[in-house]
A = this chain, B = another copy of it.
Amino acid sequence: MIAVLKPNASPERVEHLIHWLKEQGLGVHVSQGEFQTVLGLIGNTAKVDMEMIQSLDIVESVTRVSDPFKAVNRQFHPDSSEIQAGSAAIGRGHFALIAGPCSVETEEQIIYVAQQVKAAGAHFLRGGAFKPRTSPYDFQGLGAEGIRLLLEAKKATGLPIVTELMDIRNLDLFEEVDVIQVGARNTQNFDMLKELGKTKKPILLKRGLAGTIKELLMSAEYIMANGNEDVILCERGIRTYESTYTRNTLDLSAIPVLKKLTHLPVVVDPSHATGHADLVEPMAMAAVAAGADGLMIEVHNDPPHALCDGAQSLTPEAFAATAKKLFRIREAMEP
């Protein structure tokens, strides 16, 4: 960390600050310039509150040279992580196609969709039991019953399941779930993250509604710092001024950026990002070409009557056609 002091900082104040920094366990390297003093701070600066130092009236600016995240950092863990979940793996060359309906509706529906997406090549079944809805008057999901139906579909097809946890008090219900999803509205629900850090389940962590890449990594760090190393990051579109033709703006550059910064696998959800079924295929293909480790795609047997997010779901037939193209892009990328 580099702190640039103000030109008029009194020597006593500077001495006092250096003393305090050393007390925090940091090494301090002082560089006395003609006009300004620059402090180079060495040690575990991740634990230092940058804003507090910035707030001192003798400090002009503070720059963090090293990243504030440690456990997720590729620098300290150069090999890509591979995460095992049920019969499937993701990361380090394992590409994961996660598919299924936005909401679980009936046993017939979820088993039918599971069979269809499996046949098309999917590795995971997704489905919502607890649904975050902007309005209290919208369908909120089947809850515990939804989880039960997902487990039936798992039994019928062998596909590991991914489903969202909205309230940490429901964690018990997720015992047989393979991957617990943290939704975009809970990416910074820090108490939930800490609790999930104490479980042994892989966590699929979505980027916040308008979350930065750094915040996503820091939220993953919350889980890892509490003991759970199996975190899958998910880009799902960010909120921007452009919302006429797409619900969110899918930030595909997040893929190579994240792959550089962290060893964790990165998947992309083109369905929620775009909000339109006809944009799902081109964005899914683009995500694969950009290097994503997996995709999460909404598939519904009867999109126009889906209880939520019908506008963005593919039919099983459309999904099968898309999957074929995705696998061809994957092949074209092999060296």
Partner of A311, one of B51, B63, B311, B333: B51
* Contact partners of A325 in chain B: CB under 8 A: 333
* Contact partners of A33 in chain B: CB under 8 A: 29, 40, 42
* Contact partners of A288 in chain B: CB under 8 A: 289
Interface residues of A (CB under 8 A from B): 2, 4, 27, 29, 31, 33-36, 38, 40, 42, 46-47, 49, 51-52, 54-57, 60-61, 63, 65, 68-69, 132-140, 166-169, 185-186, 188-192, 194, 208-215, 218, 221-222, 225-226, 238-246, 249-253, 255-257, 260-261, 273-275, 277-279, 282-283, 285-291, 303-312, 325, 328-329, 331-333
- Copies of this chain held together in the complex: 4
In the assembled complex, the CB of A324 is this many whole angstroms from the nearest CB of chain B, namely 11
In the assembled complex, the CB of A210 is this many whole angstroms from the nearest CB of chain B, namely 3
Complex: A75 Cα to B241 Cα, angstroms: 26
Apart from A4-B63, A240-B251, 12 more pairs, CB < 8 Å: A2-B63, A27-B34, A36-B40, A47-B137, A47-B138, A51-B275, A51-B308, A69-B135, A134-B214, A249-B253, A252-B252, A256-B278
Complex: A169 Cα to B170 Cα, angstroms: 12
* Contact partners of A282 in chain B: CB under 8 A: 253, 255-256, 289-291
